Structure 1
Amino acid sequence: MRASAGGGGRLLRGGREVARALLVWVLTAGALMLLDEWLTGFRMPEWWQPTVCALLFGVLSAVVWPLVLRVALPVAVFTLGIGSFLLLGAGVLAISFAVPGVVITDFGTAVVVAVAVAALGSVVSGLVGLDEDELFFRRAARRGVRSGTTGDGSMPPGVLFLQVDGLGFDTVRRAVRDGDMPSLARMLDEGSHRLTGWHTDWSSQTGASVCGMLHGRNDDIIGFRWYEKDRDHVMACSSPEDAAEIERRHSDGCGLLAVDGAARASLFTGDAAHTSLTLSALPLISGAGRRGRGIDGVGAGYYAYFANPANALRTVAGALVDVGREISAAVRQRRAGVRPRVKRGGFYPLARAGTTVIARDVVVSAIIEDMLAGRAVVYADFLGYDEVGHHSGVERFDALAVLRGIDRQIGRLHRATQLAPRRYHIVVLSDHGQTQGWAFTDRFGESIGALVGRLVGEPQPDPRRGSHLDAGRSAERWQIDAVLAEVSSGGGPIARRLRARVERAGAVDRPRPPDGGPADAERVAPGVVVVASGHLATVSFTRHEGRVELETIEREYPELLPSLVDHPGVGFVLVRSAEFGPVVLGRDGLRRLATGVVIGDDPLEPYGPHAADLVRRVDTFPHCADLMINSRYDPVRDEASPFEPHVGSHGGLGGAQSRGFLLHPAELPPPREIVGAEALHRVLRGWLTHLGHPEPRPADGQVQERHVAVLQVHERGVPELPGAPCEDHPGE
């Protein structure tokens, strides 16, 4: 159908392209005449000069500029696109030297001319209906005919997995209902898509979720950051080297994107043949490639986008608007005394524009290129909402504004799928949600690291280290002091029980062993490492190898556990006992995970029916910390205090952070309940199989490596979470 209708359409589109080129040429010449009249320092005295300069500017934009950008790309990227117009201004200045009689008195005038002409080109494209989407349609039809892939029905539909980072199930439902995501609402209203939720792992953060979704495994990923005692190293999913190491541990070469796939703006590659803006691939870009696969350069997506000056202009305008929106939102929050809030000044407004505007637009451009190439499966991550949610709040007005921008891009991609070289399905999903709350340091006057350091007997000269308190907080110091005094009293039943155990042991003053050697991780006290990761914090005692048991902690740090479980910001603590195995301690009760015995109130009850299985699974991980601390969740107010300076946050259990969403085509088999990112991988893989995509086949060495890894997992006794394998239930 598409091929048969393509002849007349190609002639029409070709004619429109020629018409556009002529119209741009004529209007650019007219614009240069107007600039000659209005702009001081720009003179074109002869009648023929505007026509020639317009032609040369077209050549500059279409031919010379893309070549220059290959060298000068960092200038465009790190200046939010402004640098590209400085370079174009230099090109306009060169044109003035090349055309006799044309005068541009200074560089600033040349930049103004470059911006004006680029803006005109963008406006003309809109007037003749050749925006990015229509340009995509035209190129797709041409490429499809050349490759022989248009309309033959031999290929299974491609799939676009579009991840909206940090968007929880509850928030997306309200956004669809209230008109903040009209594109998603339209898909649901038309019946083409269905919306469902999925439950994350205990580590409700991008590292664990994306690794599980793309590679089918996320065991031993404790948080976004965690300490590995055997290496004396803090792993961080935001580090390219650590991300590459995480992927090395979990990839078997058969990731979700292994067969003709592309990963855009992702933490991990999913074994894709084509990657750009993907963190785990960055250390390998200068090498020969990964497992025989090609890797697009780190700037590939940016180059494809900024090669068009009109794109650069639109990005500059959008970035400046977003910087202004951020500054305005921060001022409004501060003036209104909104709580919770964090400081949002410094470099953050520019960094925010980088994720909400530049990265978003570049990712969409890369996806369009992938569709033009007819790639089978594409995964892309839109980061902007998560970033703004951390600093502004989960559903505050500027966070919802960012969400509306992402929704517009999803709608644009959905329209583009209609005329791609192959048919495409769109699946929209999130890696986790966010739970809002007043940051732990701001609320209680000291960070979780300072609290642990103080409880193990180490003086803390700056207990608010790392906090984002403003000057107004000093008036509330008496409330902080009252909280600290209450914490130190240890009035809860579990705290009293722990203190009684220590007293019976008679070992409160027993000498402690010496500290270990030099460290890669910061100690809050000699031999004590604390790492915060959203609503999760880990404590490791480096004087001991392996997992340190509850009895040893009681002996060496008798005040630590009682005070932690009694702290109003701590929900529960996981610790391993020599007598009872893994134990979850809360203020008013405990739960022995090995037997299911609960004494007092179940500390996991506020965290949902899957909490025990998820926590038990983490206890089996080789790098599970000696203490795993989850923030306290208040189900009445639906809030919790993160251990990092965030408003909306995630990383642990409690509230919306554990509930991601999945919007999928209605024609795909609906999944049963999904618990954990590995179960979600089985769903996504099952859908690809259902659509006719071939199964990836790893190299022999990778098969053996995968086999050994699976045996190790089973030997450690990692419990199987709810969810059926796709072999038994297609699509699940």
Structure 2
Amino acid sequence: MVRALVTVIVGAMVTGVVIGLLPGISADDGWAVLTVAIVLGVLGAVLRPLLVTLLTRIGWAGVVAGWIVVQGLLVWIALQVTPGIQVDGFWSAFWASWLGAILMSIGLWVVTAGQHGVATRHLLRANRRYRRSVAPTDVPGVIMIQIDGLSAPLTRWAIETGNLPTIGRWLRTGSHTLTEWHARMPATTPASQAGLLHGASDRVPAFRWYEKTPGRLVVTNRPEDAALVESRLSNGRGLLADGGVSVSNVFSGDAPTSLLTMSTVRGRRPGPARYLSAYLLDPFGLTRSLVLAAGEIVKELHQARRQRLRGVEPRMHRDWRYVLLRGATNVLLRNLNLTVIAEQMMRGAPAVFCDLVDYDEIAHHAGPARPEALASLDGIDGVLAILEEVAAAAPRPYRFVILSDHGQSQGATFRQRYGLTLEDLIRGQGTDDVVVAAGGNLALVYFTRLPCRVTREQIDKRYPELLPTLTGHAGIGWVMVRSEADGAVVLGPDGQRRLRDDHVDGTDPLAGFGPHAADDLRRHDTLDHTGDLVINSLFDPVTGEVAAFEELIGCHGGLGGAQEQPVLVHPREWRVTDPLIGSDAVHLVLCGWLEQVGCRSSAGGEPPRAPR
């Protein structure tokens, strides 16, 4: 009741401002303004659900056109039927609707900012039909939220600084505990999600890689490539196979319901899903999110300027593409993900896995521990708080698991430090048949004219100065290459390490890269489509800094620093008995937990019991 009253009051104030500013609309008195605000609210509540259904059936053209004109149509009807209001025609109402939507979004944000439960109440109202139609069950469901790029050390720090109050409360009350795990190289989202969701991280050697036989570069954030890779990963028994829901992931985990997921986006039926149509046409959906995204863009411009004026180092130029991307990920996508997860919870989904990329994107460009990156965690934590409230009204009890896929390590980029890219350095040695696939501070190098895996001896014969140049460069920590005589060998500036027996000549090139470095490289040497050369940047164990081979201040992919230290926050009674080395190990633990609570069948067993 209070929410409705606040909405009417703000709506009346906005309507008065709009009528005062725009020609073609007039009101006899304040009562007419108040009346039209009430009429518009009633029309929206009654007609908008019907319009969502109708326009969804028409298709994308109907939904997009509806988003543009529906609010204008409702405003025009409200103005026409309200006594004491004069309007020249539809277009006056159309422009009034957009100005009003912007002012209403700002007004409600100002009035409701910081108020407990506002977003939750809206989500519950939007999904009230499921509260009536979905029968309850005692079988718990599990909500798995991946905070992309968040390391365990930074999680602890963010809890202390108050950026993750919900997770902090869970840990302090003893409902949850925090476990650090090791992300095996490559520490990337596709590789980790291949493990987390399918238990098959060994099919993904990097974020991008070259396949010699078809002669193509595979980039896992492209839908067609993500679908190709998932076809190699899937055995039909992924993490979400038994009625689970995949939201905003790279791979689906064999979920029967896959939404906003890269690998399945092209396999969807044509036309918009109802959840997306509802979000677009909801006044608390896209229009409001666009207004808030504009605010996020203004904040980004201010924060980037502040970094420049303060001389913060390392830093990078944050161009207009990232400015728009930040608005999209930190507001639009986050709000859409929240809407989708809440709906699935009210439908009684047994398991949901969603990747929230907000922090990762900002950390790439600003730095993983910078104020703007930490501030993004406030918004993510707010999502967790809202989902916790939604769970209290859902048809089944829900448990929450929060995890990351990798961390991030910081440092000035290779190009910033040395004035050239890694590809420039390699091509400067006379190579004209090379593909350099870089991701973070890891690069896979392929000699495209030579089939299969090229050996050290072949490289030395064709390009005798290449390996000495690479290993002697200050920005390169080590180079792995396959030798005909010694198998996989790791080369450094003052020595080498033979991986088959860990024999070291001179100075160990893996010294300082952590206790898992040799095992990670032994594994990586066996992966399909790994590079002829595998190159890792420098790592300073004192500062924890690396030098990314792409233009990102915060990076991940190779070895060195917090990028290898993701986090797992889980209910305390769900035990982790062994060290978690690699995302495949985490997959097994997650599957075990789902089986334990009864929302996943064991291999070959009966499917989980669904809500009645």
**TM-score past 0.5 threshold:** yes
- How many percent of aligned residue pairs carry the same amino acid? 38
Please tell me whether residue 66 in structure 1 is matched to residue 40 in structure 2.
no
Deviation per CA, 1:193-237, whole angstroms, max 9, x where unpaired? 001101011100000001110001121311100111111111101
- Distance (Å, rounded) in 1 between the aligned partners of 2:115 and 2:156: 37
Does the aligned pair in 2 maintain the 1:85–1:114 contact within 8 Å?
Answer: no
Does the aligned pair in 2 maintain the 1:589–1:598 contact within 8 Å?
Answer: yes
- Partner residue in 2 for 1:307: 281
Please tell me whether residue 539 in structure 1 is matched to residue 450 in structure 2.
no
Q: How does 1:572-591 map to 2 (within 5 A)?
A: 572-591=478-497
Does the aligned pair in 1 maintain the 2:280–2:287 contact within 8 Å?
Answer: no
Query: What is the DSSP-based 3-state SS (H/G/I as helix, E as strand, rest coil) of the residue aligned with 1:219?
Result: helix
Please tell me whether residue 562 in structure 1 is matched to residue 459 in structure 2.
no
Evaluate the alpha carbon distance shift between residue 51 and residue 232 of structure 1 in structure 2; reply closer, same or farther with a 3 A threshold: same
Please tell me whether residue 179 in structure 1 is matched to residue 162 in structure 2.
yes
- Distance (Å, rounded) in 2 between the aligned partners of 1:632 and 1:74: 51
Evaluate the alpha carbon distance shift between residue 633 and residue 104 of structure 1 in structure 2; reply closer, same or farther with a 3 A threshold: farther
Please tell me whether residue 369 in structure 1 is matched to residue 356 in structure 2.
no
Query: What is the DSSP-based 3-state SS (H/G/I as helix, E as strand, rest coil) of the residue aligned with 2:320?
Result: coil
- Partner residue in 1 for 2:355: 381
- Partner residue in 1 for 2:567: 661
Q: How does 1:216-227 map to 2 (within 5 A)?
A: 216-227=199-210
Q: How does 1:270-669 map to 2 (within 5 A)?
A: 270-286=253-269, 301-455=275-429, 457=430, 525-669=431-575
- Distance (Å, rounded) in 1 between the aligned partners of 2:154 and 2:275: 30
Aligned with residue 674 of structure 1, among 546, 561, 580: 580
Shift of 1:76: 9.2
Shift of 1:365: 0.8
Shift of 1:92: 2.2
The farther-off stretch of 684-693 and 545-554 is 684-693
- Distance (Å, rounded) in 2 between the aligned partners of 1:33 and 1:327: 32
- Distance (Å, rounded) in 1 between the aligned partners of 2:6 and 2:225: 52
Does the aligned pair in 2 maintain the 1:632–1:641 contact within 8 Å?
Answer: yes
- Distance (Å, rounded) in 1 between the aligned partners of 2:441 and 2:64: 33
The farther-off stretch of 578-587 and 39-48 is 39-48
Amino acid at match of 2:228: E
- Partner residue in 2 for 1:191: 174
Amino acid at match of 1:595: D
Amino acid at match of 1:432: H
Q: How many residues are treated as equivalent by the alignment?
A: 597
Does the aligned pair in 2 maintain the 1:565–1:587 contact within 8 Å?
Answer: yes
- Distance (Å, rounded) in 1 between the aligned partners of 2:108 and 2:310: 43
Evaluate the alpha carbon distance shift between residue 130 and residue 226 of structure 1 in structure 2; reply closer, same or farther with a 3 A threshold: closer
Shift of 1:683: 1.0
- Partner residue in 2 for 1:202: 185
Instruction: State the structure with more CA Rg.
Output: 1
- Distance (Å, rounded) in 2 between the aligned partners of 1:340 and 1:74: 45
Evaluate the alpha carbon distance shift between residue 75 and residue 443 of structure 1 in structure 2; reply closer, same or farther with a 3 A threshold: farther
Query: What is the DSSP-based 3-state SS (H/G/I as helix, E as strand, rest coil) of the residue aligned with 1:102?
Result: strand
Amino acid at match of 1:269: S
- Distance (Å, rounded) in 2 between the aligned partners of 1:380 and 1:275: 10
- Partner residue in 1 for 2:35: 51
The two structures have a TM-score, normalised by structure 1, of 0.75
- Partner residue in 1 for 2:609: none
Does the aligned pair in 2 maintain the 1:430–1:662 contact within 8 Å?
Answer: yes
Shift of 1:336: 2.2
Deviation per CA, 1:544-585, whole angstroms, max 9, x where unpaired? 110111111001000000110111111111100000011011
Shift of 1:311: 3.3
Aligned with residue 688 of structure 1, among 594, 604, 609: 594
Amino acid at match of 1:63: L
- Flag structure 2 segments of 5+ consecutive residues without an equivalent: 606-612
Aligned with residue 214 of structure 2, among 231, 252, 261: 231
Evaluate the alpha carbon distance shift between residue 559 and residue 57 of structure 1 in structure 2; reply closer, same or farther with a 3 A threshold: same
- Partner residue in 2 for 1:132: 119
Query: What is the DSSP-based 3-state SS (H/G/I as helix, E as strand, rest coil) of the residue aligned with 1:310?
Result: coil
Task: Provide the alpha-carbon RMSD of the alignment.
Answer: 3.1
- Distance (Å, rounded) in 2 between the aligned partners of 1:112 and 1:199: 50
Evaluate the alpha carbon distance shift between residue 375 and residue 252 of structure 1 in structure 2; reply closer, same or farther with a 3 A threshold: same
Amino acid at match of 1:209: S
- Partner residue in 2 for 1:468: none
- Distance (Å, rounded) in 1 between the aligned partners of 2:14 and 2:291: 20
Shift of 1:73: 6.6
Q: How does 1:103-122 map to 2 (within 5 A)?
A: 103=87, 106=92, 107-116=94-103
Amino acid at match of 1:674: L
Amino acid at match of 1:602: D
The two structures have a TM-score, normalised by structure 2, of 0.90
Shift of 1:347: 2.6
- Distance (Å, rounded) in 1 between the aligned partners of 2:328 and 2:447: 39
Amino acid at match of 1:607: F
Please tell me whether residue 256 in structure 1 is matched to residue 243 in structure 2.
no
Does the aligned pair in 1 maintain the 2:117–2:386 contact within 8 Å?
Answer: no
Shift of 1:421: 0.9
Evaluate the alpha carbon distance shift between residue 85 and residue 127 of structure 1 in structure 2; reply closer, same or farther with a 3 A threshold: farther
Does the aligned pair in 2 maintain the 1:585–1:591 contact within 8 Å?
Answer: yes
